[in-house]
Amino acid sequence: MIKIYHNPRCRKSREGLAILEKSGKDFEVVKYLDDVPSKKEIKTLVKFLGIAPIDLVRKTEAIWKEKFKGRTLSDDEVITALSENPKLIERPVVVNGEKAVVGRPPENIMGLL
């Protein structure tokens, strides 16, 4: 089952959702600001994305700049920051099986379908 970690207020996330809707495939929408992913889920996302946890962080968010910018954080500390501040999670993230992409640009999603 395809899953999209979605923020309805984000234009890129809405564009990613539209791509999935047009694909005709079944998918699940996770509004991750309401249904916050656990640390275990974030670790799995990072694994499926094939990136370091820090690469899933939206470093332009005020929360990041105020609390974390300039600090050296371990992978576990970054994952904790993401789980405690889901607004920091790059969006949208689309998962298909054991592979995932960040939908920035939204066309990245096409390669996953």
Q: Which residues are catalytic?
A: 10
CB-count exposure of residue 52 (10 Å: 0-12, 13-18, 19+): exposed
CB 27 within 8 A of CB 3: yes
32 backbone dihedrals φ, ψ, rounded to 5°: -70, -15
